[in-house]
Amino acid sequence: MDKFIIEGPTPLKGSIPISGSKNAALPLMAASLLGNSPSSIDLVPRLEDIYTFNNVIRVTGTQVIFDEQENKLHINPENLAHFEAPYELVRKMRASFYMLGALIGRAGEAKVSLPGGCAWGPRPVDLHLKGFEAMGINIELHQGYVHASIENNSVEGGEFTLEPSSVGATINLILGAVLRAKKFTIKNAAKEPDVVLLCKMLKKMGADIEGIGTSTLIIQKVDKLEGIEFSNDPDRIETGTYMIAAAMHPNSDITLTGCKPEDLGRFPHHFKKLGVHFDISGSDIRVQTNGGINPISIKTKIYPGFPTDLQAQWATLMTQAQGTSTVTDTIYFDRFSYVPELKRLGADLSVDKNKVTINGPTKLTGTSVMSTDLRASVSLVLAAMVAEGESEILRVYHLDRGYEQLENKLNNVGASIKRTEQ
């Protein structure tokens, strides 16, 4: 098991290329199973979650070839004949549950393990299952597995309202409906870029989907989908993370390349309030700092609101702000495992239910801290880079799930991060 040794503080100067989005790539990979010929996906990041999902897909008999040098994934589902996603793989990553929708769409039947993933908080899949039942799919739970089946080749469909709106459930229902539901309407559908990109890929494959980018999706069955070549989007969470990293250091000058700024939603609106200069030019974002930052309170909301996947990083940023701020997570109420670890570094934070209050600025001092999930892990890296002295970040395998070449990218702009064995 690896750990990071980080020396701080280190101003950041230079450019960082933004990788492809993990959260967008996984649904695209699942969609590839619905084609009657091979598909290729560009801009796929080299991440543990991608490798895990490749193996989940291979269990079905599908050929998966990952050209790591080109970040290109080739998926050929022509020999797909095994309609199961086993526990030993699905437990490693919750997004493997997308196999339920993909296999329903592909074969009209599926046996998929209930999911695992990050340690923090439950993410119940009841919403997914109720949606499939509303579509007309037979759903049974047996010994930790979901068994899904269709009596005939298709179902009537109907209508389902997602309460609350859910990216994962929206994606799963879309995957299941495009080849099986005569007409299925998803209300209060998630509008995240990951969902929009999935719909665009399926449309290119031949799917009939109306309302893309809105909260109401209308899906009508088509007889077949064709394999295609398609490109993943840049990672908006990685983009926001590195913008925050730059803002934490006085005298930083960072240019992020290969971004998709329009996918950031309201995040730039909040970032601007910090008093940090940043400029968007095409697919480049430049962040320049020259002093203190303002304390800005945020609440996470569904897209295009402030993303829950950036709240830990924002709270870490606020430890260096000139005053008191709050971070409230309205999506997940228990995503604050990073707080006691930041306090070990010297931060002044307190949690009340789903809100953390941060008093800044505080001088952070290097020590040993432990990662508990993906976004909490990167928040500890950001804190360690501004802390005086040496910090030790344990269990960084969480980071390998979601940030491609994190230490290399940061070291290239001035950070001092060494990966060693624990």
Q: Is 125 annotated as a binding residue?
A: yes
Q: Is 112 annotated as a binding residue?
A: no
Type of residue found at 330 = T
Question: 328, 300 in Cβ contact below 8 A?
Answer: yes
Q: Is 123 annotated as a binding residue?
A: yes
Residue 278 phi, psi (nearest 5):
-145, 150
Residue 144 phi, psi (nearest 5):
80, 5
User: In whole angstroms, what is the distance from residue 34 CA to residue 75 CA?
Assistant: 11
353 CB-contact burial (10 Å; exposed 0-12 / middle 13-18 / buried 19+)? exposed
1 CB-contact burial (10 Å; exposed 0-12 / middle 13-18 / buried 19+)? exposed
User: In whole angstroms, what is the distance from residue 203 CA to residue 210 CA?
Assistant: 10
Question: 241, 262 in Cβ contact below 8 A?
Answer: no
Q: Is 396 annotated as a binding residue?
A: no
Q: Is 286 annotated as a binding residue?
A: no
Nearest to 326 by CA among 369, 301, 360: 360
Helix axes 126-135, 167-177, angle to 10 degrees: 30
Out of 110, 118, 196, 202, pick the active-site residue: 118
118 is a catalytic site residue: yes
Q: Is 298 annotated as a binding residue?
A: no
Nearest to 175 by CA among 262, 45, 77: 77
Q: Is 395 annotated as a binding residue?
A: no
Tell the residue number behind the tokens 């298709």, with chain if given: 154
Q: Is 408 annotated as a binding residue?
A: no
Q: Which parts are annotated binding residues for phosphoenolpyruvate?
A: 22-23
Catalytic residues: 118
Q: Which parts are annotated binding residues for UDP-N-acetyl-alpha-D-glucosamine?
A: 94, 123-127, 309, 331
Q: Which parts are annotated binding residues?
A: 22-23, 94, 123-127, 309, 331
